[in-house]
Amino acid sequence: MSEESGFDRFGLHPDVLDGLAAMGFKKPSPVQEQAIPLVLEGKDLIACAQTGTGKTAAFVLPLIDHLISHEKRHLSALILTPTRELALQIDQQIEGLSYYSPISSIPIYGGGDGALWDQQHKALRQGADLVVATPGRLWSFMATGNFNFDSLRYLVLDEADRMLDMGFLEDIMRIVARLPKDRQTLMFSATMPDRIRQLAGSILRDPAQVSIAVSRPADKIEQMAFKVMDPHKLQVLTALLAEFPFRSALIFCSSKDKVKQLHQTLRKAGVMNEAFHSDLDQSARETLMRAFKAGRLPVLVGTDVLSRGIDVDNIDLVINYDVPPDPEDYVHRIGRTGRAERNGRSMTMVNPMDLRRWKRIEELVGRSLPWTERPLCGWTESPANSAGSGENRGGRPHRKPGYRPNRTKK
Ligand code: AMP
């Protein structure tokens, strides 16, 4: 029984409306509002929307709706996505939204052991209706020639910019070359640089366009920034964690070595946390993610591996222990909070070397982000440090934190 919902106007199949009710989605998000009618109409689509906007359901809902009416559904839709975490999340969303529909899906992603390979290979040959795959792994299977996508009708490229950043262009093009030309293609990307437009030009046909909040963080996220010298970061971090109440927090570091170190140090300081990075195998990642989602693990410390592949709604705090080199990553990191109409808070620790990066972030988010003053940050307003959100003037290297010039003349 489908309840009256804001989704009624799309004319979706009652089974899909029941799935929506079961998932608790009452009102379409802006990207859903715009994209769903276009996809239902059968148009190719290029959509600029970041994670957290509800973009997954924007393509999953009309796909399920289309597939319900097909008799032959075997391998008829393919969703390409950059990471295994995203593949799993999309697959879970399909499972939820198609709970009342006769639609099957499989996630295909790399890593794991030979048993996982065999299981995924078998699933592809025997067939699910919808395949959600990372490009590298899918291509490894397609190269075996044991199955084909001859009956494919729908192709989705999810987080296209990220897939290109991760070097998947060649795999994507090889996969697309083996798909039927007569299909509907949808492309979702958080940003629309030229290379994405070129990719769109080569694989989409006369696409409709939808653009949502061009790579800007949701307004509901309170973005705080602190000027902190590296040796003071830990002290400031533990004080912030104690001061600002949270249920679930993510802490991002620039490298997995830093993640491992911070994880241990926080643990010794009594902060219950786990480290999430690319050295962990898939089952370890899933175990951590389950504990985090269930609220049994309050803090995850991770690299940017975490920033894309996590679909948890109740994260209230994201901390950038380091400023990410790429401003887009900042948006993705803090986009883990403030999801699904909830409020969130992000905190970024900026050292003098990061001022230039911080300025680029401000440019991307489209406004200046004021500093929050903190004691014990170790930051003195030396000319090099005081360039507002500016530069390392004159290109001179900043002093190393803790460096004291030796005043004794030789
Ligand atoms: P996404 O941008 O696809 O990663 O979605 C962000 C989060 O919003 C996911 O946890 C979805 O389950 C949730 N979500 C998507 N659409 C809706 C909706 N219409 N109402 C409530 N929650 C939604």
Q: Report pTM.
A: 0.63
Q: Which of 311, 314, 336 to mutate to test the pocket of ligand 1 (most atoms within 8 A of CB)?
A: 311
User: What spacing in Å lies between the alpha carbon of 58 and ligand 1's midpoint?
Assistant: 9
Q: Which of 244, 231, 213, 219 is nearest to 347 (CA)?
A: 244
Cα 263 to ligand 1 centre (Å): 30
Q: What is the CA(311)–ligand 1 centre distance, in A?
A: 9
CATH number of 7-211: 3.40.50.300
Q: What is the whole-number distance in angstroms between the Cα of residue 286 and the centre of ligand 1?
A: 20
Identify the residue whose C-alpha is closest to ligand 1 atom 15: 54
* Listed residue (185, 334, 314) closest to 252, CA to CA: 334
How far apart are the C-alpha atoms of 286 and 390, rounded to whole Å? Answer: 40
pLDDT of residue 384: 53
Would you give the distance in Å from CA 350 to the centre of its chain?
A: 23
- pLDDT score of 45: 97
- Beta strand pairing call for 184-189 and 154-157: parallel
Number of the ligand 1 atom closest to the C-alpha atom of 50: 2
Amino acid at 77: A
Taking the centre of ligand 1 as the mean of its atom positions, its distance from the CA of residue 183, in whole angstroms, is 26
CA of 52 to the centre of ligand 1 (A): 6
Out of 29, 59, 156, mutate this one to test ligand 1's pocket (max ligand atoms within 8 Å of CB): namely: 29
Q: What confidence score (pLDDT) does residue 216 get? A: 58
Residue 106 in tokens: 């499989």
Q: Where are the alpha helices (DSSP H) in 269-399?
A: 282-293, 305-308, 327-334, 355-365
Cβ neighbours of residue 62 closer than 8 Å, sequence gap 6 or more: 10, 12, 35, 36, 39, 40
Residue 173 CA neighbour count, 13 Å, CB half: 10
Within 10 A of 313 (CB to CB), how many other CB atoms are there? 13
Helix (H, G, I), strand (E, B) or coil at 136: helix
Determine the residue of 94, 339, 342 to mutate for testing ligand 1's pocket, defined as the one with the most ligand atoms within 8 A of the Cβ atom: 339
Q: Do domains 7-211 and 221-389 have the same CATH topology?
A: yes
| Domain residue limits, the chain | 7-211, 221-389
Cα–Cα distance, 28 to 44 (Å, whole number)? 20
Whose Cα sits closest to atom 11 in ligand 1? 54
Which tokens sit at 179?
Answer: 């798909």
Helix, strand or coil, per DSSP, at residue 108: strand
What pLDDT sits at residue 195?
87
Q: For the chain, how many residues are written?
A: 410
Secondary structure letter of residue 3 according to DSSP: P
Return the best residue to mutate from 188, 220, 313 for the ligand 1 pocket (most ligand atoms within 8 A of CB).
313
The angle subtended at Cα 65 by Cα 60 and Cα 68, nearest 5°, is: 120
The rounded Å distance from CA 229 to ligand 1 centre is 37
Please give the pLDDT value at position 8. Answer: 92
Amino acid residing at 310: I
Please say whether the dihedral angle defined by the alpha carbons of residues 330, 334, 339 and 345, taken in this order, is positive or negative. Answer: negative
**Per-residue confidence in pLDDT tens, the chain, 410 aa:** 444 458 999 999 999 999 999 998 989 988 999 999 999 999 999 999 877 788 999 999 999 999 998 888 899 999 999 998 899 999 999 999 999 999 999 999 998 788 999 999 998 988 799 999 999 999 999 998 888 899 999 999 999 988 998 889 999 999 999 999 999 999 999 878 888 999 999 999 999 999 876 555 667 789 999 999 999 999 999 999 999 989 999 999 999 999 999 999 999 999 999 999 888 887 888 899 889 989 999 999 998 877 765 667 778 899 999 999 888 788 888 888 876 656 789 999 999 999 999 998 988 787 889 899 887 787 776 645 554 433 332 222 333 333 233 333 33
Which CATH fold would you assign to the domain 221-389? Rossmann fold (3.40.50)
CA of 370 relative to ligand 1 center, distance in Å: 29
Ligand 1 site: residues with CB under 6 angstroms? 25, 27-29, 32, 51-57, 311, 313, 339-340
Give residue 388's pLDDT.
Answer: 42
